[in-house]
């Protein structure tokens, strides 16, 4: 047992950000970062992009080199899991039998790929994509003429579909909902992306009913749907993320679609915090409890928990934002469009460069930008300030979006 310090369970983007932010804000307590993988903390977004079809080393995704942890005085324990939180004695029990005492505990346990109860889902050529090892296992299959079936029409599945087409693979995307990205995108963007993928040669099937995976004891050879079978050399199950909240629940913390935390990232135990994909947090900008899955959110929450522990003023809450790269498209989204009552399109979707602007009661609540990187900084400001701007000016593509801030 060591003297109580700050223990961070989870060595992903959120946990790594929290550890270094604590040092930045002057916290000199012992900090230990616990990771269940063999790798140093790494960036996940590249995994569904070029990394899968490249020969890049895993180290190319690392957030910081090992020397940076030593320089900052941050201990890092890899290939070990936290098996139990003993709140009474403020200890974390590790899978190798050791216990770490904590004064404050940060849960950054992330999430895992949601499972589908499909017969054959355990075959060698059926994949999920959440970790570096998942991406490395996919690599041998990314060859011309291989037949990929993606089950799920979310961002990760669509990014992999685009990458596969770039590698001259045959691709089918099966989405159970009536449109792609049904949870996060409005019909305009969803239809635009479906059209882009179809133009690239992807077989996009909406309201698809997947009944099972067909093959032998080792490999899946086809995906059986209500309207017939689709031949497959590999299958990617990409139907969302499930928060890793079991450790918190076993410790008696409040859990509901993630570990419940307040505006200060505190759980129902004020000495324990939760950040990133495992957390369902009170959101200072949007209001209410939100489970947001994005790198910007993980970074923001990692910095916020460090500010709380260090006694620093908290940064002003801001609108969430996201991005995705598919083919030649750079998609950037700020705010949440749910509940909008007016939509304005700036530019022409047929040109593959446009903005979709969503208003509620006259105020801009969200903007989707497609190949409009030059407008995105202004878009973030407009949404964060909840600007009320004349709709005619919002739709006038002859003047830069930034001009509307004057």
Query: What integer is the mean pLDDT of 249-254?
Result: 98
| Strands of the 321-326 sheet, one edge to the other | 321-326, 329-335, 363-370, 353-360, 342-348
| Strands of the 228-231 sheet, one edge to the other | 210-215, 220-225, 228-231
Token pair of 115, please? Answer: 């499972």
> With the CA atoms of 76, 80, 81 and 82 taken in that order, what torsion angle do they form, in degrees rounded to the nearest 10?
-60
Residue 348 has pLDDT above 60, yes or no: yes
Q: Mind listing the pLDDT tens digit for each residue in 18-36?
A: 999 999 999 999 999 999 9
Residue with tokens 């960036």: 43
* Strand pairing class (220-225; 210-215): antiparallel
* 215 in Cβ contact with 120 (< 8 Å): yes
Q: How far apart are CA 354 and CA 42, in angstroms?
A: 32
On the question of a common fold for 5-112+241-310 and 115-237, the answer reads yes
Q: Mind listing the pLDDT tens digit for each residue in 184-224?
A: 999 999 999 999 999 999 999 999 999 999 999 899 999 99
Query: Would you tell me which CATH number, out of the four given (3.50.50.60, 3.30.479.30, 3.40.50.720, 3.40.50.150), belongs to the domain 115-237?
Result: 3.50.50.60
Burial profile 173-194: b = 16 or more Cβ within 10 angstroms, e = fewer:
bbbeeebbbbebbbebbbebbb
* 150 in Cβ contact with 173 (< 8 Å): yes
- How do the domains of the chain map onto residue ranges? 5-112+241-310, 115-237, 328-405
Q: Which CATH number does 5-112+241-310 carry?
A: 3.50.50.60
Q: 170 — alpha (psi -120 to 50), left (phi > 0) or beta?
A: beta
Query: What integer is the mean pLDDT of 136-141?
Result: 95
Beta strands in 157-251 (DSSP E): 170-175, 203-206, 210-215, 220-225, 228-231, 234-237, 241-243
* 151 in Cβ contact with 236 (< 8 Å): yes
* 108 in Cβ contact with 124 (< 8 Å): no
Nearest Cα neighbor of 275 from 250, 298, 243, 308 is 298
Q: Mind listing the pLDDT tens digit for each residue in 284-320?
A: 999 999 999 999 999 999 999 999 999 999 988 899 9
Residue 1 has pLDDT above 60, yes or no: no
* 265 in Cβ contact with 281 (< 8 Å): yes
Residue 253 has pLDDT above 60, yes or no: yes
Q: How far apart are CA 82 and CA 93, in angstroms?
A: 6
Which residues fall within 8 angstroms of residue 216, CB to CB, at 6 or more apart? Answer: none
Q: Mind listing the pLDDT tens digit for each residue in 82-121?
A: 999 999 999 999 999 999 999 999 999 999 999 888 888 9
CA pseudo-torsion sign 101, 105, 106, 110:
positive
CA 269 to chain centre: 26
Residue 332 has pLDDT above 90, yes or no: yes
CA pseudo-torsion sign 292, 154, 130, 208:
positive
Q: 44 — alpha (psi -120 to 50), left (phi > 0) or beta?
A: alpha
Q: How far apart are CA 330 and CA 129, in angstroms?
A: 21
* 92 in Cβ contact with 84 (< 8 Å): yes
CATH architecture of 328-405: 2-Layer Sandwich (3.30)
Q: Mind listing the pLDDT tens digit for each residue in 353-404?
A: 999 999 999 999 999 999 999 999 999 999 999 999 999 999 999 999 999 9
Within 10 angstroms of residue 376's Cβ, the number of other Cβ atoms is 19
Residue with tokens 């790798």: 39
Residue 2 has pLDDT above 80, yes or no: no
pLDDT class for 228, splitting at 50, 70, 90?
very high
* 332 in Cβ contact with 323 (< 8 Å): yes
Nearest Cα neighbor of 19 from 305, 278, 225 is 305
Within 10 angstroms of residue 390's Cβ, the number of other Cβ atoms is 10
- What one-character DSSP code corresponds to residue 40? P
pTM of the model: 0.95
């Amino acid at each position: 047992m060591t003297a109580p310090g700050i223990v961070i369970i989870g060595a992903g983007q959120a946990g790594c950000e929290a550890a270094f932010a604590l040092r930045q804000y002057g916290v000199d307590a012992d900090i230990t970062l616990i990771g269940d993988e063999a790798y140093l903390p790494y960036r996940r977004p590249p995994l569904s992009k070029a990394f899968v079809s490249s020969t890049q080393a895993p180290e190319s995704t690392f957030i910081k080199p090992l020397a940076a942890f030593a320089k900052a005085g941050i201990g890092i324990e890899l290939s070990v899991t936290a098996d139990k939180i003993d709140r009474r004695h403020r200890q974390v029990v590790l899978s190798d039998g050791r216990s770490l005492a904590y004064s404050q505990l940060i849960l950054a346990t992330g999430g895992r790929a949601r499972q589908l109860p499909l017969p054959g889902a355990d075959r060698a050529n059926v994949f999920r994509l959440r970790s570096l090892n998942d991406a490395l296992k996919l690599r041998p299959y990314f060859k011309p003429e291989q037949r990929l079936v993606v089950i799920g029409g979310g961002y990760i599945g669509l990014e992999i579909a685009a990458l596969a087409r770039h590698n001259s693979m045959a691709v089918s995307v099966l989405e159970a909902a009536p449109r792609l990205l049904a949870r996060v995108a409005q019909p305009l963007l969803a239809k635009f992306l479906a059209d882009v993928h179809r133009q690239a040669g992807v077989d996009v099937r909406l309201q698809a009913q997947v009944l099972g995976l067909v093959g032998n004891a080792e490999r899946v050879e086809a995906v059986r749907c209500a309207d017939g079978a689709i031949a497959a050399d590999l299958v990617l199950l990409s139907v969302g993320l499930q928060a890793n909240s079991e450790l918190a629940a076993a410790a008696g913390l409040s859990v509901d679609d993630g570990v419940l935390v307040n505006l200060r990232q505190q759980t129902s135990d004020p000495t324990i915090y939760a950040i990133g994909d495992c957390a369902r947090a009170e959101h200072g900008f949007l209001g209410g409890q939100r489970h947001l899955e994005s790198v910007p959110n993980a970074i923001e929450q990692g910095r916020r928990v460090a500010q709380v522990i260090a006694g620093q003023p908290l940064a002003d809450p801001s609108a969430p934002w996201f991005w995705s790269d598919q083919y030649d498209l750079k998609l950037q989204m700020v705010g949440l469009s749910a509940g909008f009552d007016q939509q304005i399109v700036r530019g022409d979707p047929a040109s593959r460069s446009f903005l979709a602007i969503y208003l509620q009661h006259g105020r801009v609540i969200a903007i989707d930008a497609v190949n409009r990187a030059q407008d995105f900084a202004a878009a973030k400001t407009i949404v964060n300030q909840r600007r009320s701007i004349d709709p005619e000016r919002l739709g006038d593509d002859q003047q830069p979006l930034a001009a509307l801030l004057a």
